[in-house]
Amino acid sequence: MTDPEDLAERVREGDLRIHELEEHADYDTAAHARRLLIERETGTELEAIGDYAFPAEEADPNIENMIGAAQVPMGVVGPVPVAGGAADGEHYLPLATTEGALLASVNRGLGVIREAGGADARVTKNGMTRAPVFRVAGVAEAAETVAWVEDNLEALRAAAESTTSHGELLDIEPYVVGDSVYLRFAYDTKDAMGMNMATIATGEACELVESETPASLVALSGNLCSDKKPAAINAVEGRGRSVTADALIPGELVEERLHTTADAIAEANTRKNLIGSAKAGSLGFNAHAANVVGAAFLATGQDEAQVVEAANTITTMDAREREDGTTDLYASVSLASLEVGTVGGGTKLPTQAEALEILGLRGGGDPPGSNADALAEIIAVGALAGELSLLGALSSRHLASAHEDLGR
C-alpha cells in the first residue's frame, strides 16, 4: 500500500501535483496525503475533516482534490402533511443547517399545518433550461435564424434527444438583442435535476443550428438560462420545477398556536414580504424561504449554488372571514424555479442518499419524474411552514426571544 507520508512529501518537493495523487494510490490514501500536506503547510490539525464515513472513491464524480468532508448538522422536521400531485401523506424532511432555531421554527409551522388538516401542493411547470448565445451579422440574419428554429423544432428535438435516454425537449424560446441570438431550450429531465443533461443535449442541437443558419455559436450558456444567478426570467418563466403549496388555517388555531391573529399575519406579510421587498427591489417576496430550501438542498444532495434561484418565492397570506364572523388564514408559497432531482449528482453520495431514503424518494420514480416532483412538493410545504412560523413570530413579537432561547 502506498504511504500517504511519501505522497505528501513528493507533492511538497514538486515531484507530483496535488491533483495527480489518485494516479499513484487509492482514493482514501490520496485524500490522506493531501490532508498531511495541508496540515504541514498551514499548521492546522484536520482531524474532523478527515473523519468521514464513506469511501472517498464514491465522491470522485462530485469533487476534485478531496481532503475529507464538511460535516453539517442534520435534523428532521415533520411529519410534513402534504396532499400533492406526486407526494401524498406524511413525510419526515431532513434539513442540514448551522442556524439554531430554524428547525424548531419549521416544526412549529408544520404542527399548525398538520392540525389544520395538511397542505396541498402541486408542481405547476417543469423545464430545465439552457440558453446558448449565437453571433449574427445583424437583425436580418437574426430573423432568419429564429424563423429556421421555429420551423425546425422537430429536427432540433431529435438532435437534442439523441444524447439522452431520459430527457425530452419541451420548447425553444428565441430572444434577439442586436447581433446576438439567444435560444432558451427547456427540457423535461425526469427525476434528474438535469443541468448536465440539458447542456449536452443543447450542444448537439447547436451544431445543427450552426450548420443550417448564418448563426455562429459564441457560448453554450448565454446567461438567459439563467443558472446560479438571481434573474427575473426564472421568476417569471420558471426553471426546474415551479411549485406552489397552500393551506387554510382556522383562526382559533392561529391564536392558540401562533399567539397572534390571521389579520395580524396577513398585515405583516403585506408590509414586510410584499411592500418591503418591492421597495428593496427584491426578486423574491418572502420571509426566509431560502432557509428551508438551502437546508433541504444540503441534506438531499442538490446543487447548493442553485439556492440563488431555487429560493425565489412569493408568499401570500390572506385573512378570510367565515359566515360566523371568525377569520381564518389562507397561506401559500409559490417557488418559481426549484431545481431538484433524486438521481445523479450529489444524490448518489451515501449521506444524501440516506436522507432521500428517509423521504422514500431515492432514485427514479414510477412514472419517471414523480420522485423529483414529490421532493419539490415536500420542500414547498416545508417552506410554507417556515414562512407561517416566522410571520407568526414577527406579528406576535416573539422573534427575538425565540432566537435568544434557541439560536445563541
237-266 as b/e: b if 16+ CB within 10 A:
bbbbbbbbbbbbbbbebbeebbebbbbbbb
pLDDT at position 400: 39
The yes-or-no answer to whether 74-125+230-407 and 132-219 have a common fold is: no
What is the four-CA torsion angle of 145, 148, 149, 153, rounded to 10 degrees? -170
Residue 402 has a pLDDT of 47
Q: What is the pLDDT of residue 86?
A: 98
Query: Are 298 and 97 within 8 A, CB to CB?
Result: yes
Q: Which residue has the higher pLDDT, 237 or 323?
A: 237
pLDDT above 70 (res 248)? yes
Is pLDDT above 90 for 87? yes
| pLDDT at residue 404 is higher than 70 | no
Residues 337-355 pLDDT 10s: 999 999 999 999 999 999 9
Residue 126, CA atoms < 13 Å, CB-side half-sphere: 23
132-219: CATH topology: Alpha-Beta Plaits (3.30.70)
218-247 residue pLDDT tens: 999 999 999 999 999 999 999 999 999 999
pLDDT value at residue 372: 98
* Cα 205 from Cα 215, distance rounded (Å): 13
Predicted pLDDT of residue 398: 57
Kindly report, residue by residue over 360-402, the tens digit of the pLDDT: 999 999 999 999 999 999 999 999 999 999 999 999 875 534 4
**Kind and range of the H or E element at 336?**
strand 327-338
Rounded Cα–Cα distance for residues 146 and 196 (Å): 25
Known catalytic residues?
99, 303, 403
**What was the pLDDT predicted at 403?**
46
> How far is 323 from 43, CA to CA, in rounded Å?
71
Output the nine-digit C-alpha cell for 1: 500500500
20-69: pLDDT as tens digits: 999 999 999 999 999 999 999 999 999 999 999 999 999 999 999 999 99
| Residue-level pLDDT at 325 | 86
Phi and psi, residue 94, nearest 5°: -75, 135
Mean pLDDT value across the chain: 95
Q: What is the pLDDT of residue 1?
A: 62
Per-residue pLDDT at 397 = 72
Identify the pLDDT of residue 66.
97
Mean pLDDT score, 168-179 = 98
- The CA dihedral of 105, 106, 110, 112, to the nearest 10 degrees, is 30
What pTM was estimated for this model as a whole?
0.94
CA distances (Å), origin 309, targets 230, 235, 387: 6, 8, 18
Residues 6+ apart with CB under 8 A from 165: none
Paired with 334 in beta bridges are 244, 314
**Measured between alpha carbons, how far is 89 from 118 in angstroms, rounded to an integer?**
9
Place 405 in a pLDDT band, splitting at 50, 70 and 90: low
Which residues of 38-178 form beta strands (DSSP E)? 74-84, 88-96, 119-130, 133-135, 168-177
Q: What is the CATH number of domain 74-125+230-407?
A: 3.90.770.10
Distance, C-alpha 306 to centroid of its chain: 5
Q: Map out the domains of the chain as residue ranges.
A: 4-59, 74-125+230-407, 132-219
Torsion of CA 171, 175, 180, 185, to 10 degrees: -20
Predicted confidence at residue 162, as pLDDT, reads 97
pLDDT of residue 2: 86
Q: Which residue has the cell 399548525?
A: 112
